[in-house]
Amino acid sequence: MSQHSPDYPPNYAIARIDLPDQRTHGWQVRLQRRGIKYAKFFSDSSYNNPHQALAHAQAYRDQLIAELEEQAKNQARICTRSTRNSSGVVGVSKISVTAANGATYHFWQATWSPEPGKRCCVKFSIRRYGENEAFELAVQARMEATN
């Protein structure tokens, strides 16, 4: 029944729930996108057996993911500047690193994600380049990496 996406494992976002004392047995689909939680329970008894309940849970999950992905394509993401962002540039931050010898080094850092699950960063030394140039280099690196 399920035509699950090849991007996800077969039981992605699906958990087995067995609570014998409450006579509750089945599969629960749980997803969260953009802060909204989606959950639905598929009881073994409603679908005659655990295998059928799982198949229905997978089909529901696949349909939900497809709908959410379609919504995301048609909806601009509205972002506001985080209070944690002091640089004013998304993906650019000022960091300090303390070495094992106790020396502290200051950098402007650019970070980005070239693909899901992967994170890249590059640091520019304030000592080497000066405050303004290190910042500008980090901004430039971030822009080049994300274009």
Surface-to-core class of residue 132, CB atoms within 10 Å of its CB (0-12 exposed, 13-18 middle, 19+ buried): exposed
pLDDT of residue 5: 53
For each of the chain's 147 residues, which pLDDT tens digit applies?
445 555 678 889 999 999 999 999 999 999 988 778 999 999 999 999 999 999 999 999 999 999 988 887 776 555 555 666 667 788 898 888 888 888 889 999 999 888 888 888 999 999 999 999 999 999 999 988 887
Domain boundaries, the chain: 14-73, 92-146
pLDDT per residue over 79-106, tens digit each?
A: 555 666 667 788 898 888 888 888 889 9
Which DSSP string corresponds to 8-67? S-TTTTEEEEEEGGGTEEEEEEEEEETTEEEEEEEETTTTSSHHHHHHHHHHHHHHHHHH
Confidence (pTM): 0.51
Degrees, nearest 5: CA angle 26-16-47: 25
Three-state DSSP state, 6: coil
